[in-house]
Amino acid sequence: MTVSLQPSAPSADETTTSEVLDYLALVEDYRVGLVDRLRGFGPAAAELALWVPDDDLVTSLRNLWDAAACAGREQLAIHLDDATLRGIDRGAVLDMAARFGAASLVEDDRGCTVLVRSMHAAALAETGGARSLPSSRSPRRGNVDPHGPAPVAAPPSNGSPYADALASAAADPWHARQLATRSGRRLVAAADDAMMLTLAVDPDSHVVDEAGFFGASAPEDVGMMESLCRIIEGLPLLEAADHGAIRLEHQLRARDSAPPVPGIVTPRAASEAFVRPTKLVRACLSRYRELNDYRERTNEFDEGPRETWSAMGAAARRQAVEEVLEDFALAHGGEAGDASLVSIEFDVRLVLRLCGELDGPDKPALCMVLERTLHERIDPRLEIYLEEVRDRNKLRRLAVVAPNP
């Protein structure tokens, strides 16, 4: 990792290989895009779709570099004017930039340009995590944990939220094997150093029928590859390549652990340990495209609900959901009727009404906990929506407003 503070302007090579983006223009594009466009970025910043500006400049830049690195951008140059930098330690900016690659800072008469080359995603421990807003530091009613009703437990001994699941998978690596060639399926393989992933894919449905790996020696690697194979078996290969690592990260993360990074959790940002599984599965997809002339790129995979939910009648579904809602309300300081089911739409959408103790500032966090509870106790495909808030004043609803002359 290289860090330099340059007194002169960037070289011609630097300016031609990395277009300098204006930070204030990016922020303005984002704000305008919230209203005028589905995405708030122009062509110059198309790779920054995950970026959300922050009032704290260093935090905002960290989010920006992280979004660019996760999108696969190799280098990024950002210009900051003097007004934006007022009161900001340039050394802190450069230090944060260096966590994402080889960083340099060049002063000019209007401010400075920060260039990051050989970009890579930084782990949460390197960036220090997101700085909380003052309003979020006050005690929260009910001590609600967004990722489960239980109190947050101490992290594993090595500090990783994935340690326990990886150790469990490594203890029983029944996918650590080479796959046999059989008629009716296509074998594809990809290697990264000494580690190899092999997939048996049905050429008609393009579903991963079987997965295997070999070459892993460290327990963490064995656990990671074993978990990957378990997750992607039965999935379409395109879904495994698109979302296999996301499923893997979510499956391995301890239930009582906080998200590894603030905001949107991508596997690459969560940990470098997920980079190799992602590369291997996507390399298998590329090889499969070559061998099977597979050209599909639109992923419309939806697992749908389990057979147990599909087989239930309307009354049985309502009863199952209401039992969970009652238990949830009582467990979070409310009464039995504080969480109620309004309707079930599109087979899996639960429209709910929260009131009483559950209708407070913690409602968004409670909804996350409630949805996860429904996933665990009933079906992982269920999704919750809150009932639309309607004006209860009958006279105001029925009032006829005369049009402007």
**Alpha-helix runs per DSSP H in 37-112:** 57-70, 82-85, 90-98
Cα distances from 32 to residues 29, 39, 46, 203, in angstroms, run: 5, 9, 15, 46
The confidence score (pLDDT) of residue 158 equals 54
What are the residues whose beta carbons fall under 8 Å from the beta carbon of 177, sequence distance 6 or more?
Answer: 212, 214
Provide, rounded to the nearest whole percent, the portion of the chain with pLDDT above 90: 49
Residue 235, CB-side half-sphere exposure with 13 Å CA sphere: 25
- 243 in any annotated domain: yes
How many beta carbons lie within 10 A of that of residue 149, not counting itself? 18
What are the residues whose beta carbons fall under 8 Å from the beta carbon of 43, sequence distance 6 or more?
Answer: none
- 50 in any annotated domain: yes
The confidence score (pLDDT) of residue 36 equals 55
Whether 188 and 269 map to the same domain: the answer is yes
How many beta carbons lie within 10 A of that of residue 12, not counting itself? 8
**Residue 175 · residue 225 · CB < 8 Å:** yes
**Alpha-helix runs per DSSP H in 190-335:** 219-232, 237-252, 267-270, 275-292, 307-311, 314-331
Q: Tell me: the pLDDT tens digits for 223-281? A: 999 999 999 999 999 999 999 999 999 999 987 777 888 878 889 889 999 999 999 99
The confidence score (pLDDT) of residue 342 equals 95
Q: How confident is the model at residue 5 (pLDDT cuts 50, 70, 90)?
A: very low
Number of structural domains found in the chain: 3
- 88 in any annotated domain: yes
Whether 249 and 274 map to the same domain: the answer is yes
Mean pLDDT computed over 188-200 = 93
Whether 191 and 277 map to the same domain: the answer is yes
**Residue 341 · residue 322 · CB < 8 Å:** yes
The confidence score (pLDDT) of residue 29 equals 81
Note down the domain range covering 87. Answer: 3-121
Whether 287 and 176 map to the same domain: the answer is yes
**Residue 122 · residue 69 · CB < 8 Å:** yes
Q: How confident is the model at residue 166 (pLDDT cuts 50, 70, 90)?
A: very high
Mean pLDDT computed over 359-379 = 91
**Residue 47 · residue 68 · CB < 8 Å:** yes
Whether 16 and 73 map to the same domain: the answer is yes
The confidence score (pLDDT) of residue 384 equals 96
Q: Provide the 3-class DSSP secondary structure of residue 324.
A: helix
CATH number, position 342: 3.30.300.130
Q: Tell me: the pLDDT tens digits for 51-90? A: 888 888 998 898 888 888 877 788 889 999 999 998 888 8
Whether 169 and 287 map to the same domain: the answer is yes
pTM comes to 0.56
- 135 in any annotated domain: no
Question: What whole-number distance in Å separates Cα of residue 162 and Cα of residue 128?
Answer: 19
229 against 17, higher pLDDT: 229
The confidence score (pLDDT) of residue 343 equals 96
Domain-terminating residue out of 292, 318, 352: 292
The confidence score (pLDDT) of residue 298 equals 93
156 against 328, higher pLDDT: 328
Whether 52 and 173 map to the same domain: the answer is no
- 136 in any annotated domain: no
Residue 138 pLDDT > 50: no
Whether 195 and 285 map to the same domain: the answer is yes
Residue 168 pLDDT > 70: yes
Residue 113, CB-side half-sphere exposure with 13 Å CA sphere: 21
**Residue 187 · residue 178 · CB < 8 Å:** no
Spatial CA neighbour of 127 closest among 43, 62, 67: 62
Whether 183 and 240 map to the same domain: the answer is yes
The confidence score (pLDDT) of residue 330 equals 95
Long-range contacts of 73-76 (CB under 8 A, 24+ apart): 73/47, 73/119, 74/117, 74/118, 74/119, 75/17, 75/18, 75/101, 75/115, 75/116, 75/117, 75/118, 75/119, 76/18, 76/21, 76/115, 76/116, 76/119
Whether 89 and 198 map to the same domain: the answer is no
Question: What whole-number distance in Å separates Cα of residue 405 and Cα of residue 389?
Answer: 31
Cα dihedral 161, 257, 266, 208 sign = positive
Mean pLDDT computed over 138-167 = 54
CATH number, position 266: 3.90.1010.10
